[in-house]
Chain A
Amino acid sequence: AQSVTQLGSHVSVSEGALVLLRCNYSSSVPPYLFWYVQYPNQGLQLLLKYTTGATLVKGINGFEAEFKKSETSFHLTKPSAHMSDAAEYFCAVRASGGYQKVTFGTGTKLQVIP
């Protein structure tokens, strides 16, 4: 079984401030981890993913995330928030074997304050 927990359904940051969105996962096998972004009334767009190899992964729009196995975490960060970053962000996990169902967290809405 696998699960994802996103701490904080709403996060507010000032423009130019650090963005930190938290994600913890549970998986009985080595996981593949993803972050998606969703703008209103649109589908989900992949920001970045971790499969194997380097634990610090860089994605689009200046975002990055670090896979920490010991902490079962995959937090999303961006050094400087931009107004266009305001959206909902979802963390997801997919087991590396078997059926490979994708399980999502409940999402975090990011508000960027000018």
Chain B
Amino acid sequence: SQTIHQWPATLVQPVGSPLSLECTVEGTSNPNLYWYRQAAGRGLQLLFYSVGIGQISSEVPQNLSASRPQDRQFILSSKKLLLSDSGFYLCAWTLIGANTEAFFGQGTRLTVV
């Protein structure tokens, strides 16, 4: 069966520090991968999505970047965190060409102080 791993679960980082959140999917090949951010009262905001290795699309301009170095690995990064980067970050995947739902990781609670 397919599983998705996301870590760390919680993270407290000072303003100006770098960020690296990692997500890996097991049990499937060539998934679509997504990074969402959930800020209080703002629902789920799609940050990045990827349809394949090295292919990244950004939904909104921001202080973050994403990379997909391997088929089932998706990384969210920042060189210098801002206070406004605080939030709950969720990684998700879907199958290409299928009518399936998105499957989510357990999320990372990022607090920038």
Chain A interface (Cβ < 8 Å from any Cβ of B): 9, 32, 34, 36, 41-46, 49, 51-52, 90, 92, 94, 96, 99-107
Contact = CB atoms under 8 A, between A and B. Distances in A.
A34 B101 contact: yes
Interface string B99-113: 101111111010000
Contacts of B51: 99
A101 B101 contact: no
Q: How large is the interface on B (under 10, 10 to 19, 20 to 34, 35 or more residues)?
A: 20 to 34
Interface of B: 6, 32, 34, 36, 41-44, 46, 49, 51, 88, 90, 92, 94, 96-97, 99, 101-107, 109
A106 B42 contact: yes
B96 A100 contact: yes
B46 A101 contact: yes
Contacts of B97: 100
A60 to B, nearest CB: 13
Contacts of B94: 94, 100, 102
24 contacts: A9-B41, A32-B99, A36-B101, A36-B104, A42-B107, A43-B105, A44-B44, A44-B90, A45-B104, A46-B103, A90-B44, A92-B101, A94-B99, A94-B102, A96-B99, A100-B94, A100-B97, A101-B46, A102-B46, A103-B46, A104-B36, A104-B46, A105-B43, A107-B44
